[in-house]
Structure 1
């Protein structure tokens, strides 16, 4: 039976800002040095919702006792997102798509606007960790869930840092940002329902966060991940 846990986190920013920051959470984030690359493999708008699928490759630290079982140092993660600007709900699910016999980890996150304050966004997370390695499954699941708790807290802190950097305050106390021409725009303009979906829909499909020469098997990992996704999900 899989081991599970739940966590909650509160962001003191409007939902629109949090939704935008999630899709830029690995930029200027000192807590994401383990992220090698991010590839968007599909994007579409359907029923006024934006659907995104990504492959995120991360370095993988494993305990010494597990190195002989799984020598891999990078793991591809499939992330599927559903962004609903009308109801202000952002749902994200993640799972590793390689080394699943050793450990299968799944995470389900929901970001919603607070019922009382529109300037607060609540995050609820649920995670499950399972293993099929005979004789080691209990230890692997225990290690996996504790590692998840630690990483999840760091991820929330990192996202909060990204939000702080995105959140510029002018003298009058109004939130604003700048467009590509340097023109000042209010966050209300930037995060209008149509603009938010369009901006995320046309974001870059490939972002490298680390020198690939340090990860010689990076392209092989991506190829295997795509093969798995097309075989099992399409």
Structure 2
């Protein structure tokens, strides 16, 4: 069984501003669990769409009950692939993200679509969907429930982070300093980036998003 989540949100900012903030949303005070981000592929197509693939490294803290069940040396970082398509003509940004490691423990796939709001002028509608599954026999249901709760919490933080960046951009705040690199996660992220081609055969962002 797969846990499904969907949510619709409107942000009182124009689509162009939201897309600009999307690319600048890390680091921010609400997303300290995001450690690194790297662009591994980018292309502008003949019809002027921007295709991107990024590799993100995030912390992966387990709940207390899970720490008693799973090995203590389990990696506490999770690698996320994020494909995105920006269509400036249709004014849409579509992203699809999924985790590369810990997929037996829990697999999370997220699809997000940013479009101009049809009901509110100078606003952007965000449609977010997630599919959460687990292959751990006997523990799949509590793991999925935990994953769903964490996803909801992280998405609330993500929205606050995006609004924080939008506030900075509108206020013409001074550029925010980049976070000091976390050496161990960064090194692991680079290793993951090198093996990304073997995990996902095509380096080109998936067109089905």
In the other structure, the counterpart of 1:30 is 29
- Report the counterpart of residue 106 of structure 1 in structure 2: 109
Q: Map of 1:9-20 to 2, 5 A cutoff?
A: 9-20=9-20
Give the equivalent residue in structure 2 for 1:134: 137
> Is 1:45 matched up with 2:13?
no
Q: Residue 90 of structure 1 is aligned with which of 79, 90, 93?
A: 93
The Cα of 1:210 is off from its aligned counterpart by 4.2
Is the 8 Å Cα contact of residues 97 and 225 (structure 1) preserved in structure 2?
Answer: no
CA shift at 1:79, angstroms?
Answer: 0.4
Matches of 1:22 and 1:110, distance apart in 2: 12
* Counterpart position of 1:211: 181
Larger radius of gyration: 1
Q: What is the DSSP-based 3-state SS (H/G/I as helix, E as strand, rest coil) of the residue aligned with 2:195?
A: helix
Report the Cα distance in structure 1 between the residues aligned to 2:90 and 2:26, rounded to whole angstroms: 26
Q: Name the CA distance, whole Å, in 2 between partners of 1:24 and 1:217.
A: 20
Asked if the contact 1:2/1:130 (under 8 Å) is kept, the reply is yes
**CA distances 1:115-162 after superposition (whole Å, capped 9, x unpaired):** 244410000100011000111111100110111011111111110111
**Cα contact 1:110–1:123 (8 A) shared by 2:** yes
TM-score normalised by L of structure 1: 0.77
RMSD over equivalenced CA pairs, Å: 2.1
**Could you say which residue in structure 2 is the equivalent of 1:143?**
146
- Unaligned 5+ runs, structure 1: 169-176, 181-206
Contact map agreement 1:94 1:106 (CA 8 A) in 2: yes
Cα 1:230–1:45, aligned 2, differ >3 Å: closer, same or farther? farther
For normalisation by structure 2, the TM-score amounts to 0.86
C-alpha displacement of 1:217:
5.0
Give, in whole Å, the separation in 1 of the partners of 2:120 and 2:185.
47
Q: Secondary structure at the match of 2:20?
A: helix
Q: C-alpha separation between the residues in 1 aligned to 2:31 and 2:194?
A: 23
Moved more, 68-77 or 142-151: 68-77
Instruction: Give the 3-state SS of the residue equivalent to 1:80 in structure 2.
Output: strand
Task: Kindly tell me the number of residue pairs found equivalent between the two proteins.
Answer: 196
Per the TM alignment, residue 218 of structure 1 is displaced from its structure 2 partner at its CA by 3.6
Given that 2:55 and 2:82 are in contact with CA atoms closer than 8 Å, whether structure 1 keeps it comes out as yes
